[in-house]
Structure formats: C-alpha cells, structure tokens
Structure 1
Amino acid sequence: MKNAIETKDLTKVYSNNFTAVNSLNLEIPNKTIFGMLGPNGAGKTTTIKMLTCLIQPTSGQATVGGFDVQKNPDEVRNLLGMVPQQVSLYKDLTVMENSQLCADYYGVPQDERDSRIEDLMELVDIKYAKDKRVGQLSGGQKQKASLVASLVHRPDILFLDEPTIGLDPTTKRILWDLIRELNDSGHTIILCSHDMHEVDMLCDNVGIINTGNLVAYDTPQGLKDSLLESNKQEMAEALSKISDENDVSAQEDIDNLSLRKMSILLKNQDDEIIESIKQSDDVKKIEIAHNGRLNLKIDSFDDMAVQNVLDTISFSGGIIKSVSTEEPSLEDVFIKSTSEVNEDDRA
C-alpha cells in the first residue's frame, strides 16, 4: 500500500451552509510523518474528524489504510490511534488501569494485554509511574501515558494533536525522539502542531490547510525553496516597478518578502560602511537593530552572495565581529500561504 491516507474531493458542509473543508485532495505516504498545518478555523479539525470516522463527509471520498471511511468505519477505527491535545485519560485511574481500559475497548486478547502495555511503557519510559494516578503526573508524563493507551491495539496510523504543547524543552526533545522511534517501527504519524520548528524537524511532508483548502504541500525544505523562488520573482517585479514606474509603494512589497537573512556585528560602524553595503547588488534590505547588529536581506542561497557582502564590508574598512545567516523558515511559508488566501477572500 503506497499511501496510508488518500482523499479525493473531500468536502464537509455544515447545516448552516458553512463549508469547513472544500474538495480536499490529499495523499499521505505510508510509514511517513506528515505535518498538518493551518490557522485556527482552517478546517484541520474537521478533516481529522472525517478521517477518524467521527463525522461523515458531505461529499467526496477518503480512505485510511485502504478502507473507505464511510463504508468501512470499524476497520478504519481499528487502524487508528489518537493522542488529543487535551489528555483524555481518567485522572483517578492509574496509568496501567487507563491502558487496560483501552486494551479492553479494542479487544486486545487478555493473555497479551498486560505484556503489551509493559512493553509500551518501557518504550516511552513511563513504566516507573505505571501505578500512579494520571492526575498526579506531569505534563510530559501524561503525554507518554496517552501514547501507551493509544498504541496498545497496535494501530498502523497515529494522530498526534499538539503533542508537546506546554512542555519544557528537554521533555519536548524526548517526545520528538519517541515520535521518530514510532515512525521507524512502521507507524504512519499525522502531526498537528503550531510549532513550526517541531514540524520542520520531524516531518517528511507538510500540508498547509486554509479556509478548507490545501494551499501548500511538499517536504519542509521543498516548501522553503519554493518560497525563496517565489520571492525572487516578486522581488524582481517590485524592483522593476520602482525603477520603471517610480512606484514607491512597491518598497512595502520588498519589505514583506522572506529572503535569505544575514545578521552582522561590526567592531566599527560608520555611514560609509553602511552606504557601501546598500550599494551591493546582493543586498535588498538593511536594518540596524537596537543592539547595533546589521540585519540584511539578500536574494540568493548562493554562498558567493554572502561572501560578496562580507568582502564589501572589508573593502570599506569594516571589521567583522560575528556573522550568522538564516534561510526562509517554515513559519515564513505558513504566513505567506495563509495570508495570500485571506487576501483573496477579502478581495
């Protein structure tokens, strides 16, 4: 089976005629980590509810593990595990008792139940707390307990909704490693998160949903590369307007573009050095931060462009103390993808 999840023209229209999901066409390859992004109210939750058989589509099709969500809901549910954003375990029951309840619900054989749970507890490193009530656990421990409960029936596909929200950086990294381990063991993982760095670090592919539509889909790096190319074209158009039409409003377009960024701290800094940087063909924008750092935008990932800027500074007598570079981020992609759709809606 090539794809764990496929949708074709999947649509959900609620009784008030609000279209939450509009002809969604999506393919999530088997045994990958897929990041589902979108602003609040974009249609992510409705999409997940349809894929997990909690609500019926208005039209279109969706298959999960090869089973149709409308024709074979029981088969689909048996393939799925779900870790919601808000822990849904019973607070007055222990980690073991919650896991046993889930095992019984999914019909895990009695002679396998406890051994499965023990193995999963070892995998996620929560066995030491198996006899603690869930209400006594920390945030990270609760997430681990939720993972055990969601995996006890050995699902092929795991939905994770904001799995690391509110966790400290160390616990977050531990859960990242665990998510990778689960994927390496053969699970397809659907990750819903507002943490762009998390999605960038973990996901093989990313889909951005806005106003019920899939507005972007690629690998994280592919999305960032596409943004750079798009911004280069927009940059050229804006510069042409300024040059040919004297359209000063085009400067705002340039300011909003997410190009490669450089941050430079000089030991010495004067107007002559700043002016020489402004004259560089590679530099499209320069700002002086309150701490004295020069924040530049350049229109190339080519290291020669970076070197050209550094050479320009040196030739002008500048003494460079530190340099850092940054490419367009997944957050830049998200903002660009969702803002364009919103602007179209307002037009």
Structure 2
Amino acid sequence: MVFNVSSTAYQITSPPALPFIIQGTGISNNSGVIQNFVATTDNTGSSGSFQFGIDATAGDSTTFITAAATVSGGLPAIVQFVDEANAGSATIINNGAILSGATGGETDFWNTTKGDRANITNKAGVVSGATGGTTFFTFSASAEEAIITSEGAATNGAAGGKTAFQSRSRATHATLIANGGINGGTGGVIEFTDSSDGGTAQVKVFGDGNLDISAHNPVPVVIGSLEGDGEVLLGPQELSIGANNLSTTFSGVIQDSGSVVKTGTGTLTLSRASIYTGGTTVNAGTLKVGNRRGSATGNGAVAVRAGKLSGDGIIAGATSIGTGSGAGAFLAPAAGGSKATTLTIQALIFKADGLQL
C-alpha cells in the first residue's frame, strides 16, 4: 500500500468481521501527512482488524486505533503482526473499554515480529469493571526500540492498560512505561511471564503502575533499568537491573519473596523502603540507598560481590562486602559526593577482597 507525495490524509476503516490484511512490503507513506487506520467493533461482539504478515511494515507517519469491545464478552478490535512483520514507526492506540465487562483494544506481536520504533499507548478502561487496552508480545517477538505506555485509569474500579511479554518474547531496547491510576482506578501494568526477557529495556513505573514478574518461570528476569515511584511485584522471582548501564532512581516499593540483582556500570538509587525478602546482590556498578525509614533492600541479606554500596539510607539485612577471592567490592557511603555520609547497616561483614572507601 503506497501513499504518493500528492496524497491527502485518509482514514481507512476495518469494520467488524472484515479483516484488512497487509502483506508484501506493507505501507509506504510518502505523502508527508499522517494516514489513519481504525479498527472498529459492533454491538454483536464482532470486531475489525489490521493484520500484517510476511515481512510487511506498518510504515512511517501512520496511526492505528483499535476500538474496545462494545458488549460484555465481545471481541476487541486488533492490530496483529505475524511472520516477520514490523510496526515501523507507527503510532498505535489501543482504546480502553467504556462498558463494564468489556475488553479494551489490542495489539499482538507474534512469531518473530518486531515493534521497531513504534509509539504504542494502551488506554485505560473508562468505567468501573472495564479493562484497558493491551499490547501482547508472544512466541519470539521483540519490542526493539518501541515506546509503550500503559495508562492508569481515572475511575474507581476501572483497569489500566497493560503491556505483556509472554513465551520467549523480548523487550529488547524498548521504553516501557506504566502510569498510576487516580480516583480509585488501577495503574498500568508491565508484565513478564513464561521465559520472556527484558533485555536492556528502560522500565518506568509511577503511582500504582507496576512491573509484575511474579508469574515468570524460575529464571532471572533481566531489565535495562528501573525508575519512578511505582510498584515492583517480584513473586518468588529474581529481578536483574542494570543491563543498559544507565543511572536511575527508584522511589517506589519492591515487594514479595523474590530477590534483586544489580548489574551494569550505572548507579541504581533506592530512595524509599521496600518489603521484598529474597535478598539483594551487587555484581557491578553502584547500589545507592537513600531511604529515611525502613530498609531500602527489604529485610533480606545484601551481598556486594563487586562494585559499590553507597548512600545515606538504611539497610536492615545482614550485609557482606566482597566474596573472599573476587576482584574487589567496596563500601563507599559518600561515593559520588563531596560530604561525609552515614550509611546505616544493621550487620556488616568484610571479606578478604572487601574494602571501605
């Protein structure tokens, strides 16, 4: 599908039960204006869809809108990528439902498809009992450099949007955002299940927006960085933070029985108390704590195997610096600053390769 230089702006609609299938090279927009694609639903529960197959692309300067189901139990409108298709730099908006029990609009990445540089928004449900829009990555799909935002709901009992990585899918280099809800509406969700992987993705959670890895297989979930003031739900899993080497501050709460591992060359600052119990390991970079009450690392043990532990916060768990035979680990409360700093640790052990700076 080609929009020539002289083309005006169009709106192309996929009505219920009539999928719009795009294969080959996909969409080429040379018009210089945004071309709009809308998948709709009806009160019989049917829905429209745009389906990209083979190696088709959603192109540049294109906007896709998926409608929510308009009846309880009905099908939402969908943008679907299969085979080796990609989203290009399209804007995709998955609308939230406006009826209790109805499902929000949906975008699916299957097989080895890619999010490329798309900007995707999962809108929240509008009324109590309504779900938000959702973006799914499954099989071996990857988000690449997409920016995906799951909005929080603004109505009591309404659900926020959701971004879900399933099977062996990968977030790759994406920016994943979950915003908080207001007025009793729930926040957006970023979820990793099965054997999915966060790659070097930037994860940003705010308010009651959350990162949820609780249903992941019992292997570490790796992400690039974590920031914001939202929630992290570990379940019994291990979350590894730092693969993109960025320095970030997280002022939210990490919870459940799982553990946290700091990797990469950047600094992760935990500025608020958390309640996870599985312990914390520093393998590289700097873990900085700045909480004023409670424990920044929950009540589990803290092991600094390499890198630095710094800050002026409080750590409740038994803390060890070094491994006894490693390359060196450091307790450096004032690292990166010019003033003397007091770091409060309830129990501290230095091993042979552990040093205080």
TM over 0.5: no
Please, what TM-score do these two structures have when normalized by structure 1?
Answer: 0.26
Higher normalized helix content (fraction of residues): 1
TM-score, reference length from structure 2: 0.26
| Structure with larger RCO (C-alpha < 8 A, sep 6+) | 1
